[in-house]
């Protein structure tokens, strides 16, 4: 039987008097690579912030690896899950390596030297995100795509089995989008991470994950495989625009295009 990483039951969340999530239930098993899709305002970021413990729903319950989320202390929780927020324009003067070291905070006391486990985790994270050559660079000198890799590297250095990401490929060029997707797929398939990531790009979500959910108006309106999602009628019901599929011999799944964008 697969281990349940997160279970949310009947979550309801309102922000500023507006209902954002409505009676939402979701079970995510260890080792799944889950993509969250949906139109703007559907509640995707609010959902992942609830799952990460950053928002407290007004009603409903949530467990993390079988225990109520509220029963964990912050460091205990940080050893089980890490969170990568949406990219921001905030400038930081830390080097790449110094920032990735911050991912080891659940295991360290302030001002204590790095242990061999810390150093090993940092090295592995830099290697997996292809940042070893940039380790001494200041974050202020990096491109948006390179910075996103650093944030993911810090999350991997945290060594938590559950990784939540809010639009990790947003605003990135095609090469960096593919790099992010490849790193997350490797983390799920080879390192046994559970990946939960919000995407706007249907192609990224379907080509690299093994399960997709779609939100609309605060509710889950689709939960299934990428193959099941790639149906013009289902996509239209989610986004309220007609879709067509393009079958390409170079990809295992068809590509979906909104008709107005084709």
Domains and CATH numbers, the chain: 1-80+162-183+193-262 (3.40.50.300), 89-159 (no CATH)
CA distances from 67 to 46, 57, 61, 76 (A): 21, 17, 11, 12
Q: What is the pLDDT of residue 47?
A: 97
Question: What spatial distance separates the first Cα and last Cα of the chain, rounded to whole Å?
Answer: 43
The rounded distance, in Å, linking the Cα atoms of 70 and 171 is 34
> What are 218's two structure tokens?
């605060």
Q: What is the 8-class DSSP label of residue 95? A: B
Q: What is the pLDDT of residue 218?
A: 97
The rounded distance, in Å, linking the Cα atoms of 245 and 213 is 19
Q: What is the pLDDT of residue 246?
A: 86
pTM (predicted TM-score)? 0.92
Q: What is the pLDDT of residue 262?
A: 42
Q: What is the pLDDT of residue 87?
A: 74
Q: What is the pLDDT of residue 105?
A: 94
Shortest CA distance to 88 belongs to which of 16, 173, 167, 181? 167
Where the chain has pLDDT below 70, the residues are: 89-91, 249-251, 260-262
CA dihedral of 165, 230, 62, 188, whole degrees rounded to 10: -50
> What are 131's two structure tokens?
């940042």
Residue-wise over 242-255: b if at least 16 C-beta within 10 A, else e?
ebeeeeeeeeebbe
Q: What is the pLDDT of residue 258?
A: 86
The rounded distance, in Å, linking the Cα atoms of 74 and 140 is 29
């Amino acid at each position: 039987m697969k281990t349940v990483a997160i279970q949310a039951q009947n979550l309801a969340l309102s922000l500023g008097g507006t209902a954002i999530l409505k009676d939402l239930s979701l079970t995510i098993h260890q080792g799944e690579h889950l993509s969250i899709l949906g139109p703007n305002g559907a509640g995707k970021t609010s959902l992942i912030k609830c799952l990460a413990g950053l928002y407290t729903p007004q009603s409903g319950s949530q467990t993390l690896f079988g225990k109520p989320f509220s029963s964990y202390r912050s460091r205990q929780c940080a050893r089980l899950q890490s969170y990568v927020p949406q990219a921001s324009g905030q400038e930081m003067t830390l080097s790449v390596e110094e920032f990735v070291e911050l991912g080891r905070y659940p295991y360290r006391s302030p001002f204590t030297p790095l242990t061999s486990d810390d150093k090993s985790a940092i090295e592995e994270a830099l290697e997996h995100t292809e940042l070893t050559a940039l380790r001494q660079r200041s974050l202020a000198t990096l491109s948006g795509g390179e910075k996103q890799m650093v944030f993911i590297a810090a999350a991997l250095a945290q060594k938590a089995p559950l990784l939540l990401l809010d639009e990790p490929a947003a605003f990135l060029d095609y090469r960096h989008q593919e790099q992010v997707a490849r790193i997350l797929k490797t983390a799920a398939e080879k390192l046994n991470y559970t990946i939960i990531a919000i995407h706007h790009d249907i192609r990224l979500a379907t080509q690299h994950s093994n399960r997709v959910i779609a939100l609309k108006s605060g509710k889950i309106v689709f939960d299934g495989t990428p193959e099941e999602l790639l149906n013009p009628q289902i996509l239209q019901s989610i986004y309220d625009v007609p879709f067509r599929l393009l079958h390409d011999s170079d990809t295992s799944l068809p590509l979906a295009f909104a008709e107005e964008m084709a």
